[in-house]
A and B are shown apart, each in its own frame.
Chain A
Amino acid sequence: MWDYSDKVKEHFFNPKNAGAVADANATGEVGSISCGDALRLTLKVDDDTEVILEAGFQTFGCGSAIASSSVLTEMIIGKTIDEALQVTNQDIAAQLEGLPPEKMHCSVMGREALQAAIANYRGEVWKDDHEEGALICKCFAIDAVMIEEMVWANKLRTVEDVTNFTKAGGGCASCHEDIEAILEKVLAEKGEKFDPGAAPVAQPEKIAAVKTPLTNLQRIKKIEEVLESLRPALMADGGDVELVEVIGNTAYVKMTGACNGCQMAAMTIAGIQQRLMEVMGEFIKVVPATEMAKLTNIEVA
């Protein structure tokens, strides 16, 4: 069974705002019956203030689909529709204290139902702009469609390329066979052959590895430099990282944005630690800043 957070269970076992709103003036229906999820969101919007007075959901789906729908209604009631549109799928996931990577699409469905309902209120037609494929990389929740598109768009040739451009395959590495299969397929469509030994299309910016022992100041500067180089990838996913403190060989970081509340944050932290150790040539432990409060000999700023 999935490792659902208590919050997911709470919303699943006692859903809020279940059922259709009686005199709704906005309806959004999204989903994918083939993958077992579909959601109808009904809203009652005050025509003068554009405030969402009531929201109700009807969901055909799994535990996290029902929980995502339920928490979404709670999050948007009382907001204006413009404010409500600011709610991202990461916000929904964070409100649920995280979702397993395989289940992040449930939060996406919630966000899409909201967009569809507001489009319906405004008399517009909502169009979905993304397609979902089979989940390939479970560490970073990257699906087949995403990888295929990146391989096409960036003329990727190797698993390393795919990892550099999408992060897929950069964690536990057990999906490398599946990534190779995608490369074989796309390259065959382009009339090319997959060669695992091909040179990478684009080298990610490399920071020179340190050879000599570091002073604490040098260490902090170097850590900042590495974090800076990783920042674009994190921000591409709507997240960010901030260095809070360095004590000895332990770096305390704060994960923000989409990284905050994502169950994959631990994986991301492990990835940062790996990169830091590669560059600095010494053992570095990366710890979430929230753990710092547990240390009694540190005064928290």
Chain B
Amino acid sequence: MVDIYLDNNATTKVDHEVVDAMIPYFLEQYGNPSSIHKFADGVARGLKQARQQVQALIGCEHDSEIIFTSCGTESNSTALLSAIKAQPNKKEIITTTVEHAAILNLCDYLEKEGYTIHRLPVDKAGRLNLESYKKLLSDQVAIVSVMWANNETGTIFPVAEMAELANAAGVMFHTDAVQAVGKIPMMLQDTKIDMLSLSGHKLHAPKGIGVLYLRRGTRYRPLLRGGHQERGRRAGTENTASIVGLGKACELALRYIEYENTTVKELRDRLEKGITESIPHCFVTGDLYNRLPNTTDIAFEYIEGESILMLLNKAGIAASSGSACTSGSLEPSHVMRAMDIPYTAAHGTIRFSFSRYNTMYEVEEVLKVMPSIVKTLRKLSPYWEGDAPVANPEQAFAPTYA
């Protein structure tokens, strides 16, 4: 049995070239970049090169606009907290209902602190309504934070356009782009995006390294104060090996970005088509015409996601689910709820997310086992009888709710 990894939106394998680039910074150039002896004299150069490699991938104007952080979450927190600290009179934040927890839970916390949080809803295909967004922009808003692409469905938001609108209203704009960087070509210098978060481990760099892009001239307050690292904008000794690794990963991502949008996309499309054609009562969620090339999120009706994952895992296939049980919460994924996907389908959503390491052979292997997995679980389901859902499933099975 081969092991098939289709959970690349959760995290990715570190590229061999990335590991090779990092090793000297553990074993030889392990000096503190602030030191002036020979154990450190190549480190500053390594960091400089990494900064330029990140710059090239996201297309920003200056390499000094790159601030290395510990992860996407730190970048997100830094961005939002900086905006409200720098503009203490502005008490409103605009975001969406489908952001990552790194934004949503921070906003929930700020709400308790007295901030007004506007959470833009999405339609059934996961799209935003820009008219209602425009109405919310005012001089009371400290920052807009909208993800570039959704981690569950891959749906892409029009962040460049939204940043223009925010800029015209004099409002700062931040985007959580951890899923988008490396998959969507970007040229930040041509946009009005003020801040952007990215995370190394989503693009074949190690975990524990991230970036906050900060447009030159954007008012800023650091989250971590201390030493002069990152020009005083993020204190703490640099994670040199990981920074160098992230630089290398960005260089590779730029090289493979076309491959992601052609070959990887073909793999995704083949899997999606194969599943929806061979399995009844399943559908793809999100905006089918505007999403990441590597992601498909499929709802299998009348069965539950964790059960599907356990059977997939037994077959050597790794994916993830929006079901409540996989997270330990009682509610299915907030993204599915925001799109108004019925509970009987929301609990059965499975996300397959690809990388450049996947192959068509793997796709065919998944297609071989998926129909029987769904069939097995539907046989156990009270909503299913024989080869079809029971008539009026919601009435036919109406449990006493606990």
Selecting from B252-260, B352-360, B380-388, the interface stretch reads B380-388
Within the complex, which residue of B311, B330, B382 is in contact with A59, where a contact is CB–CB below 8 Å? Answer: B382
Q: Top 9 A-B pairs ranked by shortest CB distance?
A: A62-B325, A62-B306, A58-B382, A35-B330, A29-B399, A31-B399, A36-B347, A40-B382, A102-B328
Within the complex, which residue of A18, A32, A60 is in contact with B304, where a contact is CB–CB below 8 Å? Answer: A60
Q: Nearest-CB distance from A297 to chain B (Å)?
A: 44
**Chain A to chain B contacts (Cβ below 8 Å), 7 pairs:** A32-B399, A33-B401, A35-B331, A36-B304, A62-B323, A62-B326, A127-B400
Selecting from A108-116, A222-230, A285-293, the interface stretch reads A108-116
Could you tell me which B residues sit within 8 Å of A by CB distance? 302-307, 309-311, 313-314, 323-326, 328-332, 343-344, 347, 379-383, 397-402
Interface membership of A134, Cβ < 8 A: yes
Could you tell me which A residues sit within 8 Å of B by CB distance? 1, 12-13, 15, 18-19, 29-40, 57-66, 102-103, 105, 108-109, 112, 116, 126-128, 130-135, 138
Q: Is the CB of B343 within 8 A of A34?
A: yes
Residues of A within 8 A of B398 (CB): 29
A sample of 15 more A-B contacts (CB under 8 A), given A34-B401, A105-B402, A133-B330, is: A1-B313, A19-B379, A32-B399, A35-B330, A36-B323, A58-B380, A61-B307, A65-B325, A66-B307, A66-B380, A102-B328, A103-B325, A108-B402, A130-B402, A131-B402
Roughly how many angstroms separate A62 CA and B323 CA in the complex, as a whole number?
A: 9
Q: Nearest-CB distance from B318 to chain A (Å)?
A: 10
Name the prevailing secondary structure of the A interface residues: mixed
Q: Is the CB of B332 within 8 A of A30?
A: no
Residues of B within 8 A of A39 (CB): 382, 399
Residues of A within 8 A of B323 (CB): 36, 62
Q: Nearest-CB distance from A69 to chain B (Å)?
A: 8
Q: Nearest-CB distance from A239 to chain B (Å)?
A: 23
Roughly how many angstroms separate A12 CA and B373 CA in the complex, as a whole number?
A: 13
Residues of B within 8 A of A131 (CB): 402
Q: Is the CB of B325 within 8 A of A29?
A: no
Q: Is the CB of A128 within 8 A of B306?
A: no
Assuming A18-B379, A36-B323, is B402 touching A60 (CB within 8 A)? no
Q: Nearest-CB distance from A17 to chain B (Å)?
A: 11
Q: Is the CB of B401 within 8 A of A31?
A: yes
Roughly how many angstroms separate A130 CA and B401 CA in the complex, as a whole number?
A: 10
Within the complex, which residue of B309, B380, B400 is in contact with A126, where a contact is CB–CB below 8 Å? Answer: B400
Residues of B within 8 A of A138 (CB): 328
Roughly how many angstroms separate A30 CA and B330 CA in the complex, as a whole number?
A: 16
Nearest CB to that of A63 among chain B residues? B310
Q: Is the CB of A35 within 8 A of B324?
A: yes
Q: Is the CB of A12 within 8 A of B379?
A: no
Q: Is the CB of B330 within 8 A of A61?
A: no
Assuming A36-B332, A62-B307, A63-B310, is B400 touching A30 (CB within 8 A)? yes
Within the complex, which residue of B306, B314, B344, B379 is in contact with A33, where a contact is CB–CB below 8 Å? Answer: B344
Roughly how many angstroms separate A131 CA and B330 CA in the complex, as a whole number?
A: 12
Residues of B within 8 A of A58 (CB): 380-382
- Residue of B307, B313, B326, B399 contacting most chain A CB atoms (<10 Å): B399
Q: Is the CB of A60 within 8 A of B303?
A: yes
Residues of B within 8 A of A60 (CB): 302-304, 344, 347, 381-383
Residues of A within 8 A of B311 (CB): 13
Roughly how many angstroms separate A35 CA and B344 CA in the complex, as a whole number?
A: 10
Within the complex, which residue of A13, A40, A128, A133 is in contact with B397, where a contact is CB–CB below 8 Å? Answer: A40
Residues of A within 8 A of B399 (CB): 29-33, 38-40
Q: Is the CB of A63 within 8 A of B328?
A: no
Residues of A within 8 A of B401 (CB): 30-34, 128
Q: Nearest-CB distance from A81 to chain B (Å)?
A: 19
Q: Is the CB of B402 within 8 A of A59?
A: no
Roughly how many angstroms separate A238 CA and B305 CA in the complex, as a whole number?
A: 32
Roughly how many angstroms separate A61 CA and B382 CA in the complex, as a whole number?
A: 10
Residues of A within 8 A of B397 (CB): 29, 38, 40
Q: Is the CB of B330 within 8 A of A134?
A: yes
Residues of B within 8 A of A132 (CB): 330, 402
Residues of A within 8 A of B383 (CB): 60
